[in-house]
Amino acid sequence: NKSVFMKSDCIQTTICQETKKDPIEMFHSGQLVKVCAPMVRYSKLAFRTLVRKYSCDLCYTPMIVAADFVRSIKARDSEFTTNQGDCPLIVQFAANDASLLSDAARIVCPYANGIDINCGCPQRWAMAEGYGACLINKPELVQDMVKQVRNQVGNPRFSVSIKIRIHDDLSRTVDLCRKAEATGVSWITVHGRTTEERHQPVHYDAIKIIKENMSIPVIANGDIRSLKEAENVWQNTGTDGVMVARGLLANPAMFAGFEETPLKCIWDWVDIALELGTPYMCFHQHLMYMMEKITSRQEKRVFNALSSTSAVLDYLTDHYGI
């Protein structure tokens, strides 16, 4: 129901913006902006809280399907949780309809710094629904979505960004980015792979070319596993920030310069997850990722088979002390 949302709903600035943690300002600081990627099931509030303790500057929620989010209170409650310390925050949506996306943006705008449109997810179900990476071939639709969100959200500091993959023919990607920029997109994240590519090397050269053709900030994404690699990619591509997914899952303290997950980070995760009531499966899964590098095969076998929070706490206490 359109009448429920008033333009003025969004003019109240979020706690975040008052503390001057404005992503746009960060991107213009000349410093490397370190970003946690949207990760389905994983980049939820508890994990965002953890990486923020270890020098992550900006976090994204997991991708949320805008249509479900707008239609269902249940979807909103399960998909989007935040708190005062969770900022700056970008909510990422999968959408292919400008008015549904702008309704979704209006719902989250009091609680976030901006929204991001997923134009990069290569999964079959997303492409079949007209979401994700298929949008890189629909620049007019992307423009329409950006425009409508801009028109519907009253707060001019609310960002509207896109996350894309590249085309085989890079001139098409540059064209898409220029069109998005002309429509008022705040920044663009580029995953340097095509829709078909999965584990092939990332085309950082392509990200560099896109950045050279833009005047808005560009974030580089793809296969960054350490702070040193992040700094190299940032320098070599001339971008404004780097976004990391799997590298942070394996080592949430990566942006603070740790080569592997420090024990303190593991215990911080335990504290945060218990405090926020993280479901056991998610709590355990994150620990499996974090401990991958620091445990033997035998230890993994034992740890991965644990089936309760108390068993995990006992294991950690026995092996690592508090």
**Residue closest to 104 by CA, chosen among 84, 127, 113, 95:** 95
Is 59:52 a contact under the CB 8 Å cutoff?
A: yes
Domains of the chain in sequence order: 23-251 (3.20.20.70), 263-320 (no CATH)
253 and 262 Cβ atoms separated by less than 8 Å? yes
Stated pTM of the model: 0.94
Q: What is the distance between the alpha carbons of residues 266 and 268, in angstroms, rounded to a whole number? A: 5
Write out pLDDT tens, residues 198-251: 899 999 999 999 999 999 999 999 999 999 999 999 999 999 999 999 999 999
How far is residue 206 CA from its own chain's centroid? 21
Work out the pLDDT band at 1, boundaries 50, 70, 90.
very low
Q: What is the pLDDT of residue 322?
A: 62
Listed range (74-78, 92-96, 173-177, 268-272) with the worst mean pLDDT? 74-78
Say yes or no to pLDDT of 148 above 90: yes
Question: Which pLDDT tens digit goes with each residue over 84-114?
Answer: 999 999 999 999 999 999 999 999 999 999 9
Q: 177 an active-site residue?
A: no
Q: For the chain, first and last CA: distance in Å?
A: 52
Which residue of the set 36, 109, 121, 134 is catalytic?
121
Per-residue pLDDT tens over the stretch 45-87: 999 999 999 999 999 999 999 999 999 999 999 999 999 999 9
Phi-psi region for residue 70, left (φ > 0), alpha (ψ -120 to 50) or beta? alpha
